[in-house]
Amino acid sequence: MSSYQKSVSLDAVIVDQRVQRTEGPDQRRVDKMASMFNPDALGVLILSEREDGTLVCLDGMHRCLSARKAGHTALMESKVFTGLTLPEEASLFLLYNDKKDPSAVSKFNARVVAGDPVAQEIDRIVRSHGWKVSVSTHPGCINAINKAENVYRTGAGSVANGEHPDILDRVLSIITAAWGYDQHGVHQAMLAGVAQVIGTVRHDGRLGQNGCRNWWNSTRVDHHQCTINGERPKNFCIGRTGEGPRGDVQQQAPQKQAPDLGVAALMRLLHAMPTAPSPGHER
């Protein structure tokens, strides 16, 4: 890896979101910087010069955009790296923005491009269920990526710290079956609540529909203490009313900060789980 100093035209600099902020620039920040523009405060851009001569911005995107908005046409001082691969560009973006504020999604996607094995495995699992990691609010987009990684590493606190791809895989399988690609299904509280149930309730590693119904029928539910078998999953509120062997279920009022999951949501998830193998077919 080598670099050199160069004065460049703003028009020659491009942004590749594979190695930049996935969410794009913060327009309010650009507007504020442009309104207070001072060429002496521009600093040095960090660029990557690709084989075709393209100059890709790795650090200084907001300074570039604010300078353009302010009508600045003079050349800007830059440190230009040459011979970088795409993963190396992503790694440099992370290095130069370590103490700045790219979103969790931007940092995660840069880790994927940079070859981080955990990020790549999480991305593979997410995509295998038809989702993608994005700041978009469109259906099929997950932006609670820090919570998804927490599920992968600790089952949202229900298992020992490590790597648990099976838990994340099962969580997304169940949520997708229950809610389709509605973003409410992958809210951080939903991801955590489902992971905690999966991590806590173990039937030889299976949580199929029959296994979960058997578990549900054998549980001790205390709706006053909000516990299941004496333990309270962190993201679940327990409520029961009505008649029947277990009564109807209703969701308690959501908390102000994060919407907890009610038993109604839990039962919806249980019905979405694949049928467990019958006893005669178990390994």
Give the contacts of 134 (CB within 8 A, at least 6 positions apart): 22, 105, 141, 142, 143
Weakest-pLDDT range from 16-25, 48-57, 165-174, 271-280: 271-280
Does the pLDDT of residue 140 top 90, yes or no?
A: yes
Tens digit of each residue's pLDDT (9 = 90 or more) over 45-87:
889 999 999 999 888 888 888 998 898 888 888 999 999 999 9
As to burial, measured by CB atoms within 10 angstroms (0-12 exposed, 13-18 middle, 19+ buried), residue 283 is: exposed
- Report the pLDDT value the prediction gives residue 129, as an integer from 0 to 100: 95
CATH architecture designation of domain 2-105: Alpha-Beta Complex (3.90)
Give buried/exposed letters for 199-227 (b at 16+ CB in 10 A, else e): bebeeeebbeebbbeebbeeeebebeebb
Nearest to 195 by CA among 171, 175, 179: 171
Tens digit of each residue's pLDDT (9 = 90 or more) over 28-45:
888 888 888 888 778 888
Q: What percent of the chain has pLDDT over 90?
A: 24
**Amino acid at residue number 185:** G
Domain spans, the chain: 2-105, 116-281
pLDDT tier for residue 257 given thresholds of 50, 70 and 90: very low
- Report the pLDDT value the prediction gives residue 197, as an integer from 0 to 100: 80
> pLDDT averaged over the chain?
75
Tens digit of each residue's pLDDT (9 = 90 or more) over 149-159:
999 999 888 88
More confident residue, 269 or 114: 114
pLDDT tier for residue 148 given thresholds of 50, 70 and 90: very high
Does the pLDDT of residue 268 top 60, yes or no?
A: no
Tens digit of each residue's pLDDT (9 = 90 or more) over 201-224:
654 444 444 445 555 555 554 545
pLDDT tier for residue 261 given thresholds of 50, 70 and 90: very low
pLDDT tier for residue 283 given thresholds of 50, 70 and 90: very low
